[in-house]
Amino acid sequence: MGTRGREPIAAITGLGFSQMSRAPIGTVRELAGAAVLAAIADAGLSVADVDGLLLNRSPTAAAEELPLLLQNDLGLRDLGLLAVIDSEGSSAVQMVQYAALAVRHGMARAVACVFSDTPVKSGSAGNTFAIAMPLSGIEGWERQQGFLGAVAGYAMAAQRHMTVYGTTAEQLGAYAVACRRWAQANPLAFLRKPLTLDDYLASPFVVEPFRVLDCCFPVNGAAAVVVTAADRAADAPCPPAYIHGMGQGHRGRTGLRDDEPELHIGAVQAGRAAYRSAGIAPSDISQCQFYDAFSFAGILSLEAYGLCPAGEGGRFVADGHTAPGGPLPVNTGGGHLSGYYLQGMTPISEALIQVRGQGGERQVRNDIVLVSGNGGCLDYHASLIVSPHRGLGAGAAT
Amino acid sequence: MTASYPGAHDRTFLDFIAARELRLPFDPATGQALGLHRRCAAAEWRPAAGTGTVLAFTVTRRQYDPGFPVPLVHGLIALDEGPTLIARILEVTPAEVSAGMAVRAGFDSHGLWFGPCQEPPHAAA
């Protein structure tokens, strides 16, 4: 452990969900409102105590679906902080970061941060995510080439990893199986039926090398958190999650051969910055809550955040390190594949449940939790280090 | 699906493709090809050889667009001049595609595509 006596940047004291469902249950705005109210109540606050609101709209939703007007829906007055944070899959973690900075510096006292989305239309979300990602650098190029779906971009990156490092279908499958095992102990998870590697290998391809079971499980719903100054956090009804580290990394693309945005990602920078600000090393991490909309994203995150050597993520997972009983639990709620796909709020919400010790059968060591957000096609990264401990000095992680 | 209106850089590339020509932006100062993500007003658009190497590939099995029947093979192609792009790979079955494969450019109603080189272009290398 590095520096002793470090004060946390801020604390997360409230967590709230709307209903979550594969059926239509309301608009993005309605669900967002429900989640914010639940989070405020969970933090032991009233609406009048909240003076900051940050919104995270899905990249697939229209801007007007989650407007700043949510403030008025909820009766929030005289806010000192109000913004839409729009950095794709890294937005939820970024909201918490900006909320933490705001409360740390006195711009606001209690900031609600919410993500809400309704991607599942008529029983399927396939068409919602059939967007063309701007991977080659020419606007409209991927559409002209019929290269559609976030799944295609991630599948290409995964195939590159397989080519360069020898990552296998069985290793991708091991990731999906580990997530399912965690999900089986999570009452909030949507996919809890036992899953074997053979089941995985028998599931149909969407975009090779990805099968259906390599992809996230979209749901309609919203989740929100409340961030307050660390000094006020002890008054909250639930144990606070102290924020000790924060980082971002957005590597950029050149479109030249020696640049490999499929393998070398900004999570490296986001991780180093978060570790540095928390005064810790990757080896101090007790558990990870990753943004893993595709199996490969979880595997690559292990490498980029320095938890296993580059290229070894597949083997690391297949060896059982991240599964229940393993030494480095990853996505203990089932993550995006088997839990629920609420984009960046999935890893944040599970981190809070674990930090509070409310994980039930899936509760694991929670001293230092790494939380990640990942947007674009591995382009935009943000991370948090959270802990139930106010100080991360010597002894905190023992 | 909303179509964004492309800027001059994008339009230049796509107009050449529509004219069945693969041209790439070069930095006149260094003579090096620029990656397609860079917007450089001074770029010179020079004809590319149209040959390259498959760095990675995907096979789309789920039908997203009736204009693109499945199975649909795409490659992450490194052009010999240095830039990379994602494009369809035709004239091969999914099982015949491999990373490292040498490809050359062709054109059809969708625009650019790549197919396997008849002979390895870098046999001497």
Are A298 and A292 within 8 A, CB to CB? yes
At A78 the pLDDT is 98
- Joined together, the tokens standing for residue A287 give 């558990």
Q: How confident is the model at residue A163 (pLDDT cuts 50, 70, 90)?
A: very high
At B123 the pLDDT is 47
Are A383 and A271 within 8 A, CB to CB? yes
Q: For A70-167, where are the alpha helices, taking DSSP H only?
A: 70-73, 91-104, 141-144, 150-165
Residue A249: is its pLDDT beyond 90? yes
CB contacts, 8 Å: B4 with chain A: 139-140
At A218 the pLDDT is 96
* Strands A52-57 and A81-84, sheet pairing: parallel
Question: What is the spatial distance between Cα B43 and Cα B97, in angstroms, rounded to a whole number?
Answer: 34
Mean pLDDT estimate for chain A: 95
DSSP class of A335: I
- Joined together, the tokens standing for residue B73 give 């093979």
A-to-B residue pairs, Cβ atoms closer than 8 angstroms: 143
Question: How close A21 comes to chain B (CA, Å)?
Answer: 24
DSSP A31-74: HHHHHHHHHHHHTT--GGG--EEEEEE-TTS-GGGS-TTHHHHT
Residue A4: is its pLDDT beyond 70? no
A328 CB-near residues (< 8 Å, 6+ apart): A285, A287, A288, A307, A321, A322
The residue behind tokens 């209903």 is: A19
ipTM: 0.94
Query: Tell me, what amino acid is at A345?
Result: M
* B58/A155 Cβ within 8 A: yes
- What are the Cα distances from residue B53, in Å, to A26, A298, B120? 48, 28, 10
Which chain A residue has the Cα nearest residue B99? A163
Selected residue of B26, B64, B80 to mutate for chain A interface (largest A Cβ count, 10 A): B64
At A308 the pLDDT is 98
To 10 degrees, what angle do helices A150-165 and A295-304 make?
50
Question: What is the spatial distance between Cα B112 and Cα A148, in angstroms, rounded to a whole number?
Answer: 16
Is residue A143 in some structural domain? no
* A137/B38 Cβ within 8 A: yes
Residue A55: is its pLDDT beyond 70? yes
Q: How confident is the model at residue A10 (pLDDT cuts 50, 70, 90)?
A: very high
At A132 the pLDDT is 83
Residue B21: is its pLDDT beyond 80? yes
- Joined together, the tokens standing for residue A381 give 């990264």
Residue B125: is its pLDDT beyond 60? no
- Joined together, the tokens standing for residue B28 give 């006149």
User: Total domain count for chain A?
Assistant: 1
A297 CB-near residues (< 8 Å, 6+ apart): A154, A290, A291, A374, A378
Residue B2: is its pLDDT beyond 80? no
* B59/A130 Cβ within 8 A: no
Q: How confident is the model at residue B12 (pLDDT cuts 50, 70, 90)?
A: very high
| B33, B74, B78: residue with CB nearest A147 | B74
At A394 the pLDDT is 52
Are A205 and B73 within 8 A, CB to CB? no
Helix (H) / strand (E) containing A140 = none
CB contacts, 8 Å: A127 with chain B: 64
Tally the C-alpha atoms within 13 A of residue B51's C-alpha that lie toward its C-beta.
10
Question: What is the spatial distance between Cα A201 and Cα A180, in angstroms, rounded to a whole number?
Answer: 14
Q: How far apart are the first and last CA of chain A?
A: 11
Interface of A with B (CB under 8 A): 126-127, 130-132, 135-149, 152, 155-157, 159-160, 163, 204-209, 252-259, 262
CB contacts, 8 Å: A256 with chain B: 33-35, 82-84
- Mean pLDDT in residue range A28-51: 98
Please identify every residue of A annotated as catalytic.
Answer: 291, 341
| B14, B55, B85: residue with CB nearest A140 | B14
- Collapse the DSSP code of A336 into the 3-class scheme (helix H, G, I; strand E, B; otherwise coil) and give the result: helix
Residue B85: is its pLDDT beyond 90? yes
* A148/B65 Cβ within 8 A: yes
Is residue A234 in some structural domain? yes
- Joined together, the tokens standing for residue B53 give 């190497």
Question: How close A134 comes to chain B (CA, Å)?
Answer: 9
> Angle CA(A181)–CA(A187)–CA(A192) in degrees, nearest 5?
40
CB contacts, 8 Å: A254 with chain B: 35, 37-38
At B5 the pLDDT is 60
Is residue A140 in some structural domain? no
* Candidate ranges A118-122, B1-5, B30-34; pick with highest mean pLDDT: B30-34
- Joined together, the tokens standing for residue A336 give 């995006």
Residue A322 structural domain:
10-122+217-393
Task: Give how far the C-alpha of residue A334 lies from the chain's centroid of Cα atoms, to the nearest Å.
Answer: 12
Selected residue of B20, B54, B76 to mutate for chain A interface (largest A Cβ count, 10 A): B76
* A257/B78 Cβ within 8 A: yes
The count of other CB atoms within 10 Å of the CB of residue A30 is: 16
The residue behind tokens 């995510």 is: A129
Question: What is the spatial distance between Cα A194 and Cα A334, in angstroms, rounded to a whole number?
Answer: 12
Question: What is the spatial distance between Cα A206 and Cα A76, in angstroms, rounded to a whole number?
Answer: 44
- Mean pLDDT in residue range A94-111: 98
Q: How confident is the model at residue A1 (pLDDT cuts 50, 70, 90)?
A: very low
At A395 the pLDDT is 47
Is residue A291 in some structural domain? yes
* B56/A146 Cβ within 8 A: no
Q: Alpha-carbon torsion A128, A134, A135, A140, what sign?
A: positive
Is residue A170 in some structural domain? no
Annotate A341-380 with b (16+ C-beta within 10 A) or e (fewer). bbbbbbbbbbbbbbbbeebeebebebbbbbbbbbbbbbbb
Cis amide prior to A209 (ω within 30 degrees): yes
Is residue A253 in some structural domain? yes
Residue A166: is its pLDDT beyond 80? yes
Question: What is the domain-level CATH number for residue A314?
Answer: 3.40.47.10
Which chain A residue has the Cα nearest residue B108? A145
Interface of B with A (CB under 8 A): 1, 3-7, 9-10, 13-14, 33-38, 55-62, 64-65, 67-68, 72, 74, 76, 78, 82-88, 94, 99-100, 110-112
Q: What is the pTM of this model?
A: 0.95
Is residue A197 in some structural domain? no
CB contacts, 8 Å: B14 with chain A: 138, 140-141, 144
At B119 the pLDDT is 60
Q: How confident is the model at residue A397 (pLDDT cuts 50, 70, 90)?
A: very low
Is residue A193 in some structural domain? no
Q: How confident is the model at residue A6 (pLDDT cuts 50, 70, 90)?
A: confident
Catalogue all structural domains in chain B, each as residue range(s) with its CATH number: 8-116 (2.40.50.840)
Question: What is the spatial distance between Cα A34 and Cα A252, in angstroms, rounded to a whole number?
Answer: 36
- pLDDT tens figures, A286-342: 999 999 999 999 999 999 999 999 999 999 999 999 999 999 999 999 999 999 999
